């Protein structure tokens, strides 16, 4: 047991083996960031560190991001693909200093991605490790003020990063201001305790809801090697640079983009149900034919289920169901069209 876990459990934290952490009742907290400022532990995320004299060159050949754009202010989304262009992981790339990068990704993908990258790392002066850090979210109407009060610096803009001592601050898109704090355990605990008196602790499912509402899907182990990046709208989120040179899977990803060969797309929807479908649950038409699968689900402020699902594209509208519950389409907060990360780098 460590100090971070002990402190959160003293506040009523309940943990599960599937990275579901909550305080008190697991439901009924989604409205809190709309009314106040909320803190959420984020055990679903971990950090991989890539460091060494060849770190930039190594990453440039492996990831969909233009690595030079990760400059300490802008932290681009990125993807790691198989030679067939299928996503092995997606994440956010941070440059802490020359030759040292952090990659934020799903905790269950740290080990398999490490094994994949190790095949190539042997040819570079680079080391891959998992630093002992914790991540938590700060979200709500006063989130920026709370963070600025503790860290004595203005937090970053969307997809930007701010390094403050040993901590890194990120801002993610959301209907409300939403920030992530990543730091060594002692630093994270100190920040949590400082923010705690003026905030409300909520479960990490609330953060997942805001990912869904932002149209942002994070691959887990079950979805690994299943989708082209465009199937998760990754180019619409500026997660693919089409101006950089080769990287593993680049030819397939580029061909799919320029020929318009993406048959499935990430879509957002609501179910008239309080039961969350598991990732991978089929999305079916009324004839029972599979049209896609759920990637992520969470309860919204009205107690209904919101989902992100990868669904086969059709020109004509059609009725879809998930486990017998009608799926009502919801708008994504962005247009599904290419956004070059180079156009965002100067805005972070």
pLDDT one digit per residue (tens) for the chain, 348 residues: 478 999 999 999 999 878 899 997 767 799 999 999 999 999 999 999 999 999 999 999 999 999 999 999 999 999 999 999 999 999 999 999 999 999 999 999 999 999 999 999 999 999 999 999 999 999 998 999 999 999 999 999 999 999 999 999 999 999 899 999 999 999 999 999 999 999 999 999 999 999 999 999 999 999 999 999 999 999 999 999 999 989 999 999 999 999 888 999 999 999 988 899 999 999 999 999 999 999 999 999 999 999 999 999 987 778 999 999 999 999 999 999 999 999 988 665
Report the pLDDT value the prediction gives residue 197, as an integer from 0 to 100: 95
Beta strands, E only, the chain: 13-15, 21-23, 37-41, 45-51, 77-81, 87-97, 100-106, 127-129, 133-140, 161-164, 167-171, 178-184, 200-201, 264-271, 282-285, 290-299, 305-312, 320-322, 325-330
pLDDT score at 151 = 96
Whether the Cβ atoms of residue 47 and residue 54 lie closer than 8 Å to each other:
no
Q: How many Å apart are CA 321 and CA 144, to the nearest integer?
A: 39
Kindly tell me the number of DSSP H helices and DSSP E strands found in the chain: 9, 19
Whether 190 contacts 134, CB under 8 Å = no
* pLDDT for position 164: 96
* 315 burial type by CB count under 10 A (0-12 exposed, 13-18 middle, 19+ buried): exposed
The pLDDT value given to residue 347: 61
Q: Are residues 144 and 62 in contact, defined by beta-carbon separation less than 8 angstroms?
A: no
What is the pLDDT at residue 1? Answer: 46
Structure token pair of residue 296: 């992520």
For residue 74, give the DSSP letter.
Answer: B
**pLDDT in the model for residue 46:** 97
Q: Which residues contact 180 (CB under 8 A, 6 or more apart)?
A: 42, 45, 104, 135, 136, 137, 138, 169, 170, 171, 172
* pTM to 2 decimal places: 0.96
* Confidence (pLDDT) at 267: 97
Give the torsion sign (CA, 22, 23, 26, 28).
negative
Query: What are the tokens at 80?
Result: 């790691």
């Amino acid at each position: 047991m460590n100090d971070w876990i002990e402190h959160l459990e003293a506040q009523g934290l309940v943990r599960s083996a599937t990275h579901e952490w909550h305080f008190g009742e697991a439901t009924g907290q989604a409205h809190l960031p709309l009314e106040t400022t909320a803190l959420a532990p984020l055990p679903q995320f971990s950090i991989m560190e890539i460091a060494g004299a060849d770190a930039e060159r190594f990453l440039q050949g492996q990831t969909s991001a233009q690595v030079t754009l990760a400059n300490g202010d802008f932290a681009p989304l990125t993807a790691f693909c198989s030679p067939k262009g299928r996503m092995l992981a997606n994440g956010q790339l941070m440059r802490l200093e020359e030759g040292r990068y952090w990659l934020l990704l799903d905790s269950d993908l740290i080990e398999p991605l490490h094994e994949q990258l190790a095949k190539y790392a042997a040819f570079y002066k680079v080391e891959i490790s998992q630093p002992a850090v914790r991540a938590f979210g700060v979200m709500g109407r006063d989130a920026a003020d709370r963070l600025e009060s503790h860290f004595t610096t203005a937090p970053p803009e969307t997809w930007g990063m701010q390094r403050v001592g040993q901590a890194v601050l990120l801002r993610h898109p959301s209907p409300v201001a939403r920030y992530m704090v990543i730091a060594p355990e002692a630093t994270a605990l100190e920040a949590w305790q400082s923010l705690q008196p003026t905030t409300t602790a909520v479960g990490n499912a609330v953060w997942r809801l805001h990912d869904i509402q932002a149209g942002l899907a994070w691959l887990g182990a079950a979805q690994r090697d299943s989708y082209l990046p465009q199937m998760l709208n990754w180019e619409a989120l500026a997660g693919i640079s089409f101006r950089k040179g080769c990287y593993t899977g680049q030819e397939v990803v580029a061909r799919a983009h320029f020929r318009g060969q993406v048959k499935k797309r990430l879509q957002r929807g609501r179910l008239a149900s309080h039961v969350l479908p598991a990732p991978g649950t089929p999305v079916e038409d009324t004839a029972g034919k599979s049209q896609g699968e759920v990637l992520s689900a969470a309860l919204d402020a009205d107690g209904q289920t919101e989902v992100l699902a990868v669904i086969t594209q059709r020109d004509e509208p059609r009725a879809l169901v998930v486990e017998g519950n009608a799926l009502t389409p919801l708008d994504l907060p962005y247009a599904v069209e290419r956004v070059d990360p180079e156009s965002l780098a100067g805005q972070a």
